[in-house]
Chain A
């Protein structure tokens, strides 16, 4: 199939739009949630948190906001652990840092589970890790038919 002039123009237009968005929004921001055994975390939280931060920072990520999100009973056991401390961090960094972080987190004995989610460009980084995006009342179960 031959590439028409219109197609080439459209591709160039899309590429410039993407470049403009990247220039406007800056580096991609991410949200990382890491689970740590509560027993381990309560022994020496400062050392545990330093280790978690290092997992991100060592690959060039810059942490914007981070902290303990919650400590709760897990919905199901992970590696024989029933209670975990959730550590949440908002950070920005290169794309390669995410794959490197996932690799390191998988090898770490401290990290029970971790997840990194890319944030939307328009989304604001919350000032506090305990704040939620969906804080409004959305009705109750009685609405379910």
Chain B
């Protein structure tokens, strides 16, 4: 199954990454990562962000990498 067909299944769904046909979430893309974290710096749940399981897992890793490199805070004031 090609990636395009995989995404087609979720085209009308809630996952913004599937709609944008994003294959991999980049930890360097901080503006987009910040949209999916709370003011405190915590990740929004799937229920709130509407992400699919696959992209939520990728997002989790990307946010953790960004935090390690001080691109995002671990805890924001």
Residue from the list B19, B29, B72 in contact with A134, Cβ < 8 A: B29
Contact of B65 among A74, A117, A132 (CB under 8 A): A117
Contact between B32 and A134 (Cβ–Cβ < 8 Å)?
A: yes
Q: Which residue in chain B gives the minimum CB-CB distance to A139?
A: B16
**From DSSP, what is the main secondary structure of chain B's interface residues?**
loop
CB pair B70 A74 closer than 8 Å: yes
A35 to chain B minimum Cβ distance, whole angstroms, is 7
Interface residues on B, range: 20 to 34
Q: How large is the interface on A (under 10, 10 to 19, 20 to 34, 35 or more residues)?
A: 20 to 34
Question: With A133-B24, A134-B26, A138-B16 in contact, is A86–B69 under 8 Å at CB?
Answer: yes
Interface positions, chain A 21-76, Cβ under 8 Å from B, are 33, 35, 69, 72, 74-76
The proximity string for B residues 15-34 relative to A, scoring 1 for CB distances below 8 Å and 0 otherwise, is: 01101111111111100100
Chain B residues engaging chain A, CB cutoff 8 angstroms: 16-17, 19-29, 32, 35-36, 44, 47-50, 65, 67-74
A117-B27, A138-B19 known, 15 other contacts, Cβ within 8 Å:
A35-B70, A69-B28, A72-B71, A76-B73, A84-B70, A113-B68, A113-B69, A113-B70, A132-B26, A133-B24, A133-B29, A134-B25, A136-B20, A137-B20, A145-B48
